[in-house]
């Protein structure tokens, strides 16, 4: 129904209000809400999003503006540069220009570098979500397709803010697999726990890239799928707390993920650590034995000497 915008490479998009121009390099993606292009702005790469509906451009730029106020040093979403209208072939096309976040999508990255990276990325994500929640926003539509891992230093960023909703309002946009309402495990009210449910589903999705359909009994099915995968099973406790809404804050979940990583590191090193401990014990035991022998000899010598002295005295 909604066709992507077909705009040739090299086309210059110029704004009606702010008079900035952008040269289109290529199309990056297309979704239900619009088309995103890579563009050049005075030698700098930027991402430019167009939509047939001004409403979408306006509400997304509103979100990006609030995000900018909210976050400061580590923004989860892209920074906003410009909002304008492009008059093109008698049509007015609303667009906005944002930071181009370069990198691999979460799945590509994990495929390339291994799933050992996942817990670290989740820690980063949870820290950023905590900051976002603190400022009164919920991300809403969290899913791996919208997550980019930047080149070193690797960091997770989210590129589509269409679902971002002010806390306690109704979630604006969601994807069924990541939506707790779909699984019958909660409301669609924007609460931090809504995002944390989605984070758990992102982790699950990393082990079941094809996702799966809901059957009767959402919770049982999810728990079953978690336990069925050996690697995923290790996260069972954290995932279960997140999908049943036990975490009220991102920091609580982050704390558990942190413990999880530390425990894993401890377990991995436990065997070599043990060997070292035993060697130390053996060595110190030997030392103790030598001392006790010397001690006995010393005492016996002293007693012998005293006895000898007593004997001599008696003889005289």
Partner 1 sequence: MKTGTVRQILLITDGCSNYGEDPQVVAAFAKEQGITVNVIGVMQNDIIDERARDEIEGIATQGGGISQIVYTEVLSQTVQMVTRQAMTQTLQGIVNQELKQILNKDITIEELPPEQRGEIMEVVDELNETVDLEVVILVDTSASMTKKLPTVKEALLDLSLSLSARAGNNQFSLLVFPGKKKHVEKLLDWSPRLDTIPDVFAKLIPGGMTPTGPALQEAIQYFHEKRSFFGLLKRSDDSYHEESV
Return the residue of 44, 65, 74, 264 that touches partner 1, per CB under 8 A: 65
The interface with partner 1 within residues 186-215 (CB under 8 A) comprises 187-190
One of 9, 11, 79, 168 touching partner 1 (CB under 8 A):
168
Q: Please report whether residue 176 would count as binding partner 1 according to CB under 8 A.
A: yes
Classify the C-alpha dihedral 60-65-66-71 as positive or negative.
positive
Task: Single out the catalytic residue among 128, 141, 160, 179.
Answer: 141
Span of 6-14, 59-67, 276-284, 304-312 interacting with partner 1 by CB under 8 A: 59-67
Where does this chain touch partner 1 (CB under 8 A) — which range of 51-59, 150-158, 232-240, 245-253?
Answer: 51-59
Site string for partner 1, 279-298 (x = CB under 8 A): --------------------
Does the active-site annotation cover 141? Answer: yes
H-helix segments, the chain: 54-71, 106-113, 118-134, 192-207, 218-228, 230-233, 236-243, 250-315
Of 128 and 179, which CB lies nearer to partner 1 in the complex structure?
179
Query: Any residues with CB less than 8 A from the CB of 210 and at least 6 apart, and which?
Result: none
Residues in region 73-102 near partner 1 by CB under 8 A: 83-85, 92, 94
Residue 46: name the closest of 73, 74, 11, 82 by CA: 82
Beta-carbon count within 10 A of 33 CB? 19
Which residues are at the interface with partner 1 (CB under 8 A)?
A: 1, 17, 54-55, 57-59, 61-62, 65, 83-85, 92, 94, 168-171, 176, 181-182, 187-190
Active-site amino acid positions: 141
């Amino acid at each position: 129904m909604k066709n992507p915008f077909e705009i040739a490479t090299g086309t210059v998009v110029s704004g009606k209000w702010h008079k900035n121009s952008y040269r289109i390099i290529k199309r990056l993606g297309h979704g239900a809400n619009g088309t995103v292009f890579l563009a050049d702005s005075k030698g700098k790469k930027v991402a430019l999003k167009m939509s047939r509906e001004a409403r979408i451009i306006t509400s997304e730029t509103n979100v990006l503006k609030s995000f900018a106020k909210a976050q400061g040093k580590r923004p989860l979403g892209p920074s906003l540069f410009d909002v304008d209208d492009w008059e093109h072939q008698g049509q007015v096309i609303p667009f906005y220009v944002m930071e181009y976040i370069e990198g691999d999508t979460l799945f590509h990255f994990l495929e390339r570098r291994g799933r050992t990276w996942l817990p670290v990325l989740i820690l980063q994500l949870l820290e950023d979500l905590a900051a976002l929640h603190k400022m009164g926003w919920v991300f809403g539509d969290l899913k791996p397709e919208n997550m980019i891992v930047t080149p070193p230093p690797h960091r997770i960023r989210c590129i589509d803010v269409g679902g971002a909703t002010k806390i306690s309002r109704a979630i604006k946009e969601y994807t069924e697999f990541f939506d707790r309402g779909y699984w019958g495990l909660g409301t669609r009210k924007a609460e931090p726990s809504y995002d944390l449910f989605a984070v758990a589903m992102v982790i699950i999705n990393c082990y079941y890239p094809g996702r799966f359909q809901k059957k009767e009994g959402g919770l049982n099915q999810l728990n079953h799928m978690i336990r069925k995968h050996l690697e995923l099973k290790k996260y069972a406790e954290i995932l279960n707390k997140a999908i049943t809404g036990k975490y009220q804050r991102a920091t609580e979940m982050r704390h558990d993920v942190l413990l999880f990583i530390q425990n894993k590191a401890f377990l991995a090193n436990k065997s070599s650590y043990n060997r070292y401990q035993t060697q130390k014990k053996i060595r110190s035991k030997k030392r103790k034995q030598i001392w006790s022998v010397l001690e006995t000899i010393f005492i016996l010598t002293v007693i012998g000497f005293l006895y000898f002295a007593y004997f001599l005295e008696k003889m005289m």
